[in-house]
A and B are shown apart, each in its own frame.
Chain A
Amino acid sequence: MERIPILKMGPYLLVTIQVDMHDRVAMTLQDELTQQIVAHHARGVLLDISSVNVVDSFIGRMIGNIAGISRVLDAETVVVGMRPAVAITLVELGMALPGVRTALNVDAGMALLKSAGRIATNGRPAR
Chain B
Amino acid sequence: MPQKTQLAGDIRDQQDRILNDWVNYQLSAGTLRRDLIKEQELREASRQFLGLFVTALEDSEDISTPSWKPAKEFLADLTRTRALQGFNPSETAMFVFSLKQPVFDLVQRQNQHDAKKLGGDLWSMTLLLDKLGLYTMEIYQQSRDSIIQRQQQEMLELSTPVVQLWDEVLALPLIGTLDSGRTQVVMEALLQRIVDTGAKIAIIDITGVPTVDTLVAQHLMKTVSAARLMGADCIISGIRPQIAQTIVHLGVNLRDIVTKATLADAFRVALQRTGASVAKAALSAHGTTASGDDQDEGN
Contact = CB atoms under 8 A, between A and B. Distances in A.
Nearest to B225: A96
A84 B198 contact: no
Residue from A83, A88, A90, A96 whose CB has the most chain B CB atoms within 10 Å: A88
B198 A88 contact: no
B198 A82 contact: no
A105 B229 contact: no
B191 A104 contact: no
B195 A102 contact: no
B198 A97 contact: no
B130 interface: no
A104 B226 contact: no
Contacts of A91: 222, 225-226, 229
A97 B224 CA distance: 12
A119 B144 CA distance: 61
Contacts of A87: 191, 226-227, 229-230
B200 interface: yes
Contacts of B231: 80, 82, 102-105, 108-109
Contacts of A97: 229
B229 A82 contact: yes
A105 B188 contact: no
A88 B200 contact: no
B7 interface: no
A54 B198 CA distance: 22
Contact of A104 (B187, B192, B200, B225): B200
Interface in A83-127: 83-84, 86-88, 90-92, 96-97, 102-105, 108-109
Contacts of B195: 83-84, 104
Nearest to B256: A98
Contact of A88 (B188, B194, B199): B188
B194 A90 contact: no
Interface in B176-210: 184, 187-188, 191-192, 194-195, 198-200
B232 A84 contact: no
A46 to B, nearest CB: 12
A105 B226 contact: no
Interface in B218-264: 222, 225-232
11 contacts: A88-B187, A88-B191, A90-B229, A91-B225, A96-B225, A102-B228, A102-B229, A102-B231, A104-B194, A108-B198, A108-B200
Interface of A: 79-80, 82-84, 86-88, 90-92, 96-97, 102-105, 108-109
Interface of B: 184, 187-188, 191-192, 194-195, 198-200, 222, 225-232
Give 3 nearest A-B pairs by CB, closest first. A84-B191, A96-B225, A103-B231
